[in-house]
Chains A and B, each alone.
Chain A
Amino acid sequence: MKPTITTLFLLIISTMTLTAQSGIDDFFRSTGKIYTVLGVVVILFLVLIIYLIRLEKKISKIEKQINDE
């Protein structure tokens, strides 16, 4: 279906699992776990932006087609 999104999903999951050592853990748990909130916002942002970039690419392909005609 959507290769980029699926690969992104796998990528994020695998990197998160790899980096899930105690140092990172402590970081995300510090100051009342505020960095977890930050992480969640960043993930949300990234997913939306990547989807928009995909759309953007598709549209620019069409624009090229129009210019060629």
Chain B
Amino acid sequence: MDIKRNWWKVLSVILMLYVIIAGILIPIKPGIIDYDNASAETGSPYEVTVKTYNTHFDKAQGLRTYLLLPNNELLVADSSEVINAAEVKASFNIPRRVLRGESESMDLSLVIDNEIDGYMQFPEAVRIRPSTTDTFNRAYQASALMPLSSLRDVDDFKFPFRPIVYETIRNTFFHVAIWMAMFIILIVSCYHSIRYLMTNKLVHDQKSSALTSVALVFGIAGLLTGSMWARFTWGTWWTNDVKLNMTSIALLIYCSYWILRSSISDIDTRARLSSVFNLFSFVALFILVMVIPRLTDSLHPGNGGNPAFGDEDLDNTLRTIFYPAIIAYTLIGLWIAQLTVRYHSAKDNIELLIYNKSN
């Protein structure tokens, strides 16, 4: 194989290796999975056992547990008792005046930090209600307060921790990236359709159809992987989600593209019509991508009604692997498409040869 001409294939293999190795080996940040007590009263003690993931409580020295108050101050637990590496029992004395109004209740975030793992939080974990008892105990000593800046942060290269998602955040490189690659391949396919319509060279039609078939395979892979991911995070194989519906429509469109191709026998007519249909369906797909998400909410991050992920949605550690993953899949797709095109041209040549021989 000529390396100079096929440098992009080498690049695709290297990138793919990088994505698989780095995407699986880099650990995720520690985080809070679960806790057992979700309600507290003002002016009374509050005890909670917190389960975490990927933490080193047994090795850490200065473990502290906090509640994050609305004015961005931290209420430090009086005692944080380490049970094992991923479990801690904390007890607080909630002050009498956390709340502004009398009957108001509020949700506080639970925060844990130590010098090895850095800090982790569970947003809106504990609901604090005003005290129901009237007894006024002078000896009651509320927990101490600390400024937010005293939280210890560890600067290391790890994937972010998200509730429910946990380790499957890595699927960003395998599921999301393959969708992106599918769209890029479809754009390349449209480019070749336009080239065909301008030049009438059959090579372009072959390229465009090969690219579409690769995109279809990527789409099926994306749908299957998405289904798998959804099963263990959202609980069902198939949700009635916008993106799912949109992509299944996209797959339908490209299936009908193949039906169209197979139903026309004349080569030039087929090439012309399928190029036109390819362009049309890409435009329709583009409209679909813009339109449907506006009509309904989505479970997928970045769509309506799902602000929980916010700017952490694709943080810099994920990006360093996500973008190479897109490039890797796209290059591999182009590689497969190139093989398909070469197969078709070889087939045409042979048929021509046989035809010439028989005459």
State if A and B touch, Cβ cutoff 8 Å: yes
CB–CB B336/A55 < 8 A: yes
A2 contacts which chain B residues (CB < 8 A)? 213, 216, 258
Interface of B is mostly: helix
Interface membership of B264, Cβ < 8 A: no
Tell me, in angstroms, the Cα distance from A48 to B339 when the chains sit together.
Answer: 14
Which of B24, B167, B228, B255 lies in contact with A31, CB distance below 8 A? Answer: B167
B-chain residues with CB within 8 Å of residue A33 when the two chains form the complex: 165-168, 232-233
Give the CA-CA distance A9 to B144 in the complex, in Å: 58
Asked if A66 contacts B350 (CB within 8 A), the reply is yes
Establish whether residues B167 and A16, one from each chain, have CB atoms under 8 Å apart when the complex forms.
Answer: no
Closest residue on chain A to residue B161 by CB atoms: A32
User: Which residues from B are CB-within-8-Å of A16?
Assistant: 227-228, 231, 237
Q: Which of B20, B225, B336 contacts A43 (CB 8 A)?
A: B225
Known contacts A1-B259, A44-B221, A69-B353; A37/B171 CB under 8 A: yes
Q: How large is the interface on A (under 10, 10 to 19, 20 to 34, 35 or more residues)?
A: 20 to 34
A21 interface residue (CB < 8 Å to B):
no
Checking A9, A32, A55, A66 against B224 with a beta-carbon cut-off of 8 angstroms, the contacting residue is A9
Among A37, A58, A69, point to the contact of B343 (Cβ < 8 A).
A58
Contacts of B346 in A (CB 8 A): 59, 62
How far apart are the CA atoms of A42 and B237 in the complex, in Å?
Answer: 17
Number of interface residues of B (CB under 8 A): 44
> A12 and B224 in contact (CB under 8 A), knowing A17-B237, A36-B168, A40-B175?
yes
Which residue in A44, A62, A66, A69 is a CB contact (below 8 Å) of B178?
A: A44
By a CB distance below 8 angstroms, the chain A residues around B232 are 25, 28-29, 33, 36
Q: Indicate whether A32 sits within 8 Å of B54 (C-beta atoms), given known contacts A37-B167, A43-B224.
A: yes
Find out whether the CB atom of B217 lies under 8 angstroms from the CB atom of A37.
no
Taking the closest CB of chain A, its distance from the CB of B185, in whole angstroms, is 13
Which one of A28, A36, A59 has the highest number of Cβ atoms from chain B below 10 Å of its Cβ?
A36
Task: Judge whether B229 and A36 touch: CB under 8 Å.
Answer: yes
Q: Determine the chain B residues whose CB is within 8 A of the CB of A17 once the complex forms.
A: 237
A43 touches B228 (CB 8 A): yes
Q: Quick one: closest B residue to A41, CB to CB?
A: B174
Taken together as a complex, chains A and B put the C-alpha atoms of A2 and B213 apart, in Å, by: 10
Does B242 belong to the interface (CB within 8 Å)? Answer: no
Whether the Cβ atoms of B28 and A32 lie closer than 8 Å is yes
Q: Which of B158-181 contact A (CB under 8 A)?
A: 165-168, 170-171, 174-175, 178
CA distance A64 to B339 in the complex (A): 17
Closest residue of chain A to B261 (Cβ to Cβ) is A1
Name the residue on B nearest A50 (C-beta).
B217
A37 contacts B221, CB within 8 Å?
no
Give the nearest-CB partner of A31 in chain B: B167
Closest to A47 in B: B221
Whether A43 pairs with B354 at a CB distance below 8 angstroms is no
B357 at the interface (CB under 8 A from A): yes
B273 at interface by CB-CB < 8 Å: no
> What are the residues of chain A within 8 A of B20 when measuring CB–CB?
41
A29-B232, A62-B346 are known contacts. Are A48 and B168 too (CB-CB below 8 A)?
no
9 CB < 8 A contacts A-B = A12-B224, A16-B228, A20-B237, A36-B231, A41-B24, A41-B174, A48-B217, A55-B340, A59-B339
By a beta-carbon cutoff of 8 Å, the part of chain B in contact with chain A is 20, 24, 28, 53-54, 165-168, 170-171, 174-175, 178, 213-214, 216-217, 220-221, 224-225, 227-229, 231-233, 237, 255, 258-259, 262, 332, 336, 339-340, 343, 346-347, 350, 353-354, 357
Among all A-B residue pairs, the 8 with the closest Cβ atoms: A32-B166, A32-B167, A47-B221, A1-B258, A34-B167, A40-B225, A36-B232, A37-B170
